[in-house]
Chains A and B, each alone.
Chain A
Amino acid sequence: MNNLIVFENVSKFYGEVLGVNRVSLTIPPGITTLVGPNGSGKTTLMNLLTGLVQPSSGSISVMGLSSRDADKFFATVGYCTQFDFFPRGITGWQFLLDSLMLYGMSKATAIQLADEALQRVQLDKTAARRKIDGYSKGMRQKIRLAQAIAHRPRVLVLDEPLNGLDPLARSESMALFEELGRQGIHLIISSHILDEVDRISDRVVLITGGYLIAEGNIRQVRQEVREKPMQVLVRCDHPEALASKMFAMNHCVEARIHPDGKGIFLRTGDIDQFYSILNEIATEGIVKIEAVAPADDDANAIYQYLIGSEGGTL
């Protein structure tokens, strides 16, 4: 059994509707974020990865396993769909136990693993013994997450796991994802809340219209988009003076003062040259620079650069 998820030239069509087209992708352990607008093919990619649908062409291997070897494959993968499905009238505890029994666990093992999963998602046992119908949105999300991780899969696929969560529940979920990623699990997340997922992602996969448009470490991907102007936030005491100097040197293409007036967003086509000029300005003492940080090396900005106007918004 190897340690990679491999898509080889995978296409999936639903009749005449394109799901994904000629996707070749290798995913190592860690946290991978799938980014794309609705209908871009994220869910199809996840369905393919979890063996729920078979590719029209190409092949998929998850840790060296094919979905045809159902017992091993499905024991390896945990899936948390974006749909809020629970059988009516069931308790959270029973939901977990039934799911584990469907994974082939004996009742004793299922009880032990269900306990462990509840601890991981920080849902107390008393709450778990209550009917899911009475759960809050955050608790429902936690029990779904517990169901996905309870059988200790090596690959965890989460479709929009942060949707509808309040900030506290979101932060707890993010911490759990981060911990799982550190422990060596393959964690594949699709989310619209990119600014938060970006912080913990090891890599992003950008997809639109069923086509893969970029993949890799967020900053690496950003570096490869050299022809697109990059935005940098410079915190300084005289932002107007800095902008004027940059424009005088004919380097920046856009400048925007930060709302608090203590910084400026500068857009440049050559980031290396930009830093060099900024050093010179700092040395001259015209402005006192406090901090410099890229302002658009997040997945959302990169995605917008790459798809331009044709891909819609996230």
Chain B
Amino acid sequence: MSIYKHTYRAYTGKVTPIRARILAIARYGLAEAWSAKFTTVLFVICLVPLVGFLFTIYLSNNPAARLLMGNAGSRVLIIDGSFFLKVLTTQSWMAMALASWIAPRLITLDLVDNALPILLSHPISRFGYVLGKYVALFATLSTVTWVPCLLLFAYQGYISPVPWAASNVRIAFGMLTGAVIWIALISLLGLALSSWVKWRIVATGVIFAAILVPAGVGAIVTGVLRTRWGFLLNLPVMMSSLWDRLLGVQGHMDHLTQLPTAAIVTMLALTCCLSIVMLNARIRAREVVRG
């Protein structure tokens, strides 16, 4: 009989807190998302409108430029809540395009490659896994939404010859809140839909469809039944109404729909809940092999 000395020693050292592991998943996700060149191209495209907005702020605060443009300049170059609503709306839809490209890269590849059993055999829960991916997507979308929006606000406050920022803090707060609600929603929706679609490109289409198809149905309901409640299926309209209110702007959209804020918030919360249910059903380590 052979007698072997049991020399194996398991690791008993210190381990990092759970948040560090979630950040490792997020870093993993970011690497995955940015490994495609198209992500960089799309990101640059998302930043292009900001150059225009920046130039507009510069012109509006430049006396020579205003003088040259005459009466038209004073109409076009007003920097107020409406201007920043345009900035927020533009950047939010840019973020939507970016999310529909990145979200499938974060989730679909893991599911197709059967990566979940190996990832979830680490001391990280399904919630931790989704949170890590969510952080990666949220961080990326932040760089094209509320971060540049607030930078533009700060630039306007800095360049304005009269004290401007202090009297328009509501705009900054509205942009931050509006952008955070939007990217939180599309990140969750993007991950949830991606987890149910096997092909990345199809997943990108499905994310757009999930927003545009119910909007169309909502428009039909509104038209046929002559009720404003059909707009509750229309995410773009709901978000526009919400942004109007957050920035204190009486927008054209808000005048049309007049949806109660509570109804909008409830619908957004329901969309988030539905996304969580979808993720819960799909993000599992189960690995069933049938031959």
Contacts and interface: CB of A to CB of B under 8 A. Distances in A.
Contacts of B31: 87, 89-90
Interface in A166-186: 180, 182-185
Given A38-B291, A88-B35, A104-B20, A109 B119 contact: no
A87 B28 contact: yes
Contact of B6 (A89, A99, A183): A183
Interface in A80-123: 81-83, 85-90, 98-99, 101-106, 109, 113
A135 to B, nearest CB: 15
Contacts of A286: none
A88 B119 contact: no
> Could you say which interface size class chain A belongs to?
35 or more
What's the dominant secondary structure at chain B's contact region?
loop
Contacts of B237: none
Contacts of B7: 183-184
Interface in B1-24: 4, 6-11, 13-16, 20-21, 24
A14 B13 CA distance: 37
B131 interface: no
B21 A151 contact: no
Interface residues of B, number: 41
A85 B118 contact: yes
A168 B109 CA distance: 32
A66 interface: no
A88 B109 contact: yes
Interface in A39-66: 39, 43-44, 47, 50-53
A130 to B, nearest CB: 16
Contact of B114 (A14, A74, A85): A85
A28 interface: no
Interface string A135-158: 000000000000100011110000
Contacts of A241: none
A243 B118 CA distance: 54
Contacts of A184: 4, 6-8
A73, A83, A153: residue with the most chain B Cβ atoms closer than 10 Å: A83
Nearest to A19: B288
B107 to A, nearest CB: 13
B120 interface: yes
B124 A102 contact: yes
A189 to B, nearest CB: 16
19 contacts: A19-B288, A52-B120, A53-B286, A77-B121, A79-B118, A83-B118, A87-B109, A98-B27, A101-B16, A101-B21, A102-B24, A102-B25, A102-B122, A104-B16, A105-B16, A106-B16, A154-B10, A180-B8, A184-B8
Instruction: Return the 6 tightest CB-CB contacts between A and B, nearest first.
Output: A38-B291, A104-B15, A184-B6, A183-B8, A52-B285, A74-B123
Given A17-B288, A75-B123, A183-B4, 20 more contacts: A37-B291, A38-B290, A39-B289, A47-B287, A50-B117, A52-B117, A53-B284, A70-B123, A81-B118, A86-B113, A87-B109, A101-B21, A104-B15, A104-B20, A104-B123, A151-B11, A152-B9, A180-B8, A183-B7, A185-B8
